[in-house]
């Protein structure tokens, strides 16, 4: 007698734990939430337990990808300690919330639970996040205890173990602070929606729509990849995952159309990162921004629209000019079959329409995402080939919980860092130091913020990098006259762009594995092609109209000049516009692009004149060019482009 497939697949500690967590999160949407110091510890506790049940303590016990890790006996000790912490927090929640900090002393059990919880989090960080974030957390904890030994601005009075635990564990100023609040009330539910979307044929639907939209254009596979990355940002929870999802499907088409592997990988890396910046479902840090700024997600989503369009157009121009330079033809496809496939599954997109409508109507994020997932499940029932059975439903719940761990752990650990920054006064002192260095220069402050966000993003997840950079650096920008939401958008962009910034460029490394190119070579190429995207955040700081804060004429003006700028930089980077461009012209066009994107009317007009003159010269040269043979790039042309 064969073993029941449900028993074989789900009768293991990790699957049961993950499914219970997901069901609990869905239950509270309809039941109503608990108090902060009940719900948040339960949320973190579920994540901690799932790490111990899925991630081995030692590297030698790691299992190959696709196989399940069966926990060793000692992992259950960690899970028991985790349950002890959750139960203690829940049972004593009223006492903890009503006690007077600094007056009512912590009990011995409070101290034991607090210390155990922090140690469990550090071990989970080592296993499931990375050593870099673990070390950074330890440094901040040590700073809290021994800061009184430091001289000058970095020195503070120091605090005791009890004071540290009061702040970190028994209040909403540390582990259970704003980042975890966002994870439990927003991010988890968008991961749930994305997981159900991924369980349907929506992924292939996005690919088909992308191919259909670009079917008549030069370099259609490259442009379809750009569009697909924007769609897949709604499904995947991270930039590298977005790269992997789109890359495995689209790279064969790119290869077939004779795109150079390095260029293909660069587009995948940049596009995968862009997916986290594009509404309606943005990266986890966007939801954290909502809480830190004190605004609505609909406002964040609307503010991201124009920068997202510009980001995608910048990639589109790069692909277009590359395809023109190397005489790549439009793709060949069975249009009738593609349209037929799209029509079969087009109804699934109604769930995304419902999601956007509910967000814009002011519904809570957890309710909007959960009800949209319910709508999606109902829509899958319309056709037999899209219906979700119980097995797939349980797999999706498990997948959601496992993806959530990647968000919850950095949020809880970042909460420790933020707690120490606030309790020691480091944030204010750090702002003072930035002001001293910047000498009230906004440009210098922006450059320092950019560098800090990029460096933090190399060593830790995007959400944690954003939280740290926003806590330490955004106040300085605000003090220099930048609106809070604009300052946080600046930090948010660069925390995400760290995914394509060498030496640790995770999106580029993921793309390199797909296209079979040296990861350092591809990382540098992706960084080069993303040059214009690094200018965009500066543009919206100096002209918030790019984020929608301005009059209609101001928004139109910044949009037009910025689009002209990304067109110019695309020409300059690829070495082709209307015709081939020499190195001097390429340099001039890149300078013109910067002048166009800088939100200052005179420089933008000068940049426009330079671009127009260059296009006129290219047009004259174009008349003398032989007809395109459409056979793809010659080998020497490809190598020249990569080295340029």
* pLDDT tens-digit series, residues 114-146: 999 999 999 999 988 878 888 989 999 999 888
Identify the pLDDT of residue 637: 40
Identify the pLDDT of residue 80: 96
Q: Enumerate the β-bridge partners of residue 576.
A: 580
Is residue 412, in this structure, part of any structural domain at all? no
Is residue 368, in this structure, part of any structural domain at all? no
Domain that holds residue 452: 201-333+425-622
Angle formed at CA 341 by CA 335 and CA 343, multiple of 5 degrees: 100
What is the rounded distance in angstroms from the CA atom of residue 564 to the CA atom of residue 570?
10
How many secondary structure helices (H) and strands (E) does the chain include?
A: 32, 0
Is residue 4, in this structure, part of any structural domain at all? no
| 95, 208: one domain | no
Tell me which of 614 and 64 has the higher pLDDT: 614
Q: What is the pLDDT of residues 190-243, one digit of tens each?
A: 889 888 888 888 877 888 888 888 877 788 888 888 888 887 776 665 778 778
| 527, 606: one domain | yes
pLDDT band of residue 641 (cuts 50, 70, 90) is very low
What are the two backbone dihedrals, phi and then psi, of residue 576, each rounded to the nearest 5 degrees?
-160, 140
Q: What is the pLDDT of residues 497-549, one digit of tens each?
A: 888 888 777 788 888 888 888 888 888 888 888 888 888 898 888 889 999 89
Is residue 343, in this structure, part of any structural domain at all? no
What is the rounded distance in angstroms from the CA atom of residue 577 to the CA atom of residue 157?
61
Is residue 643, in this structure, part of any structural domain at all? no
pLDDT band of residue 556 (cuts 50, 70, 90) is very high
| 25, 112: one domain | yes
| 498, 595: one domain | yes
Residue range 392-408: average pLDDT? 90
| 96, 226: one domain | no
Distances (CA, A) of 53 to 67, 106, 170, 399, 405: 13, 31, 26, 14, 12
Is residue 230, in this structure, part of any structural domain at all? yes
Is residue 362, in this structure, part of any structural domain at all? no
| 37, 99: one domain | yes
| pLDDT exceeds cutoff 90 at 151 | no
pLDDT band of residue 335 (cuts 50, 70, 90) is confident
Identify the pLDDT of residue 81: 96
As for how many domains the chain has, the answer is 2
Identify the pLDDT of residue 577: 86
Omega prior to 280 cis, within 30 of 0: yes
Average pLDDT, the chain: 85
| 476, 581: one domain | yes
Residue range 335-345: average pLDDT? 85
Identify the pLDDT of residue 22: 95
Identify the pLDDT of residue 628: 52
| 262, 325: one domain | yes
Identify the pLDDT of residue 638: 37
| 89, 171: one domain | yes
Cα atoms found within 13 Å of the Cα of residue 33, Cβ hemisphere only: 14
What tokens does 161 get?
A: 């173990």
| pLDDT exceeds cutoff 50 at 32 | yes
Query: Angle between the 552-574 and 601-622 helix axes, to the nearest 10 degrees?
Result: 40
| pLDDT exceeds cutoff 80 at 402 | yes
- pTM recorded for the entire structure: 0.81
| 454, 571: one domain | yes
- The answer for residues whose C-beta is within 8 angstroms of residue 195's C-beta and 6 or more apart is 396, 397, 399, 400, 403
Identify the pLDDT of residue 234: 66
Q: What is the pLDDT of residues 290-333, one digit of tens each?
A: 888 888 888 998 999 999 999 889 989 999 999 888 888 777 77
Identify the pLDDT of residue 636: 37
Last residue of a domain, which of 126, 143, 176?
Answer: 176
Identify the pLDDT of residue 120: 96
Residue range 575-590: average pLDDT? 89
| 212, 132: one domain | no
- The answer for residues whose C-beta is within 8 angstroms of residue 235's C-beta and 6 or more apart is 194, 197, 198, 202, 203, 242, 245
Is residue 372, in this structure, part of any structural domain at all? no
| 167, 74: one domain | yes
């Amino acid at each position: 007698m064969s073993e029941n497939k449900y028993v074989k697949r789900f009768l293991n500690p990790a699957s049961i734990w993950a499914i219970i967590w997901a069901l609990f999160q869905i239950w509270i949407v309809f039941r109503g939430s608990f108090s902060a110091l009940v719900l948040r510890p339960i949320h973190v506790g579920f994540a901690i337990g799932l790490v111990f049940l899925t991630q081995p303590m030692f590297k030698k016990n790691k299992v190959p990808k696709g196989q399940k890790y069966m926990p060793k006996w000692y992992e259950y000790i960690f899970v028991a300690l985790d349950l002890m912490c959750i139960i203690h927090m829940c049972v004593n929640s009223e006492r903890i919330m009503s006690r007077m900090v600094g007056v009512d002393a912590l009990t011995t059990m409070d101290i034991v639970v607090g210390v155990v919880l922090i140690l469990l989090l550090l071990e989970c960080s080592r296993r499931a996040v990375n050593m870099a974030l673990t070390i950074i957390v330890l440094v901040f904890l040590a700073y809290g205890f021994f800061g009184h030994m430091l001289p000058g601005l970095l020195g503070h009075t120091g605090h005791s173990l009890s004071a540290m635990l009061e702040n970190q564990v028994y209040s909403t100023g540390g582990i259970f602070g704003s980042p975890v609040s966002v994870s439990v009330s927003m991010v988890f539910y968008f991961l749930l929606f994305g997981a159900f979307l991924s369980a349907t044929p929506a992924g292939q639907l996005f690919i088909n729509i992308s191919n259909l939209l670009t079917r008549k254009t030069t370099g259609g596979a490259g442009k379809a990849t750009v569009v697909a990355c924007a769609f897949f940002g709604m499904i995947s929870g991270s930039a590298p995952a977005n790269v992997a999802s789109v890359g495995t499907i689209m790279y064969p088409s790119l290869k077939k159309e004779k795109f150079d592997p390095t260029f293909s990988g660069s587009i995948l890396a940049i596009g995968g990162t862009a997916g986290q910046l594009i509404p309606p479902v943005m990266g986890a840090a966007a939801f954290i921004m909502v809480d830190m700024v004190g605004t609505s997600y609909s406002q964040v989503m609307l503010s991201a629209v124009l920068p997202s369009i510009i980001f995608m157009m910048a990639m589109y121009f790069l692909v277009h000019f590359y395809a023109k330079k190397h005489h790549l033809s439009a793709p060949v496809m069975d249009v009738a079959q593609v349209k037929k496939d799209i029509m079969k599954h087009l109804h699934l997109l109604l769930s995304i329409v419902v999601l956007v409508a509910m967000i814009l109507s002011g519904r809570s994020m957890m309710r909007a995402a959960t009800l949209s997932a319910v709508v999606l499940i109902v829509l899958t029932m319309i056709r037999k080939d899209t219906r979700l059975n119980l097995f797939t439903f349980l797999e999706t719940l498990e997948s959601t919980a496992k993806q959530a761990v990647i968000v919850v752990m950095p949020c809880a650990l970042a909460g420790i860092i933020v707690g120490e920054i606030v309790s020691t006064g480091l944030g204010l002192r750090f702002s003072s130091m930035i002001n001293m260095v910047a000498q009230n220069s906004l440009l210098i402050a922006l450059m320092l913020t950019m560098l800090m966000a990029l460096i933090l993003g190399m060593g830790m997840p995007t959400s944690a990098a954003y939280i740290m950079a926003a806590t330490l650096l955004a106040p300085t920008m605000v003090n220099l006259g930048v609106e809070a939401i604009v300052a946080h958008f600046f930090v948010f962009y660069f925390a995400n762009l760290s995914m394509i910034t060498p030496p640790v460029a995770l999106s580029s490394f993921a793309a390199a594995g797909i296209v079979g190119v040296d990861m350092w070579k591809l990382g540098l190429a992706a960084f080069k092609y993303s040059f214009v995207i690094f200018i965009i955040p500066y543009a919206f700081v100096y002209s918030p109209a790019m984020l929608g804060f301005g009059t209609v004429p101001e928004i139109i003006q910044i949009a037009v000049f910025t689009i002209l700028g990304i067109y110019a930089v695309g020409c300059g980077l690829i070495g082709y516009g209307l015709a081939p461009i020499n190195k001097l012209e390429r340099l001039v066009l890149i300078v013109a692009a910067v002048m166009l994107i800088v939100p200052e009317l005179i420089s933008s007009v000068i940049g426009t004149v330079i671009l127009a003159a260059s296009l006129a010269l290219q047009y004259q040269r174009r008349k003398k060019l032989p007809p395109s043979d459409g056979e793809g790039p010659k080998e020497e042309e490809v190598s020249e482009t990569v080295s340029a």
